[in-house]
Amino acid sequence: MTKWRKAIWDILKNSKKPLCAEEIYKINGFKPNLSTIYRALNYLEKKNIISSVSFENSTKYFFPKERHIHFLYCIKCGNIEVFNECTAKEIKMKIEKQFDYQILDHVFYFKGICKKCREEE
């Protein structure tokens, strides 16, 4: 891995939340340009090292593939929370049978309004 790929991988590993390219770019002391970050993220995703999720807009948020996580997305402030509980296994077998389909992965998130935004209303 090149220096920046390795550095970005370390940042994502150490972050509890998924991060987009701009957020990685804004990390103090981290100084590749934005297109280098995009290229590194694309590379890591293609190599199946990281995964991404996007919500209301096309911004992709990246996280280590090895981490099976789901998301809470606040439609007001865009804040992302992460949780691990997964109920997909129960549905998976039923759907695979019903559609004669081999399911490989899933992305799951709830949309809503976070506590902070509700308090500000």
Interface positions, 62-91, toward Zn ion (CB under 5 A): 74, 76-77, 79, 86, 88
Paired tokens of 103: 């399911």
The CB-of-117 to Zn ion minimum distance in angstroms stands at: 3
**Segment interacting with Zn ion (CB under 5 A) among 15-23, 30-38, 92-100, 112-120:** 112-120
Pairwise CA distance, residues 46 & 117, whole Å = 36
The CB-of-84 to Zn ion minimum distance in angstroms stands at: 8
The CB-of-24 to Zn ion minimum distance in angstroms stands at: 21
Pairwise CA distance, residues 90 & 87, whole Å = 6
Pairwise CA distance, residues 65 & 63, whole Å = 6
Please give the backbone phi and psi of residue 39, each rounded to the nearest 5 degrees, phi first. Answer: -65, -40
> Which chain residues interact with Zn ion by CB under 5 A?
74, 76-77, 79, 86, 88, 114, 117
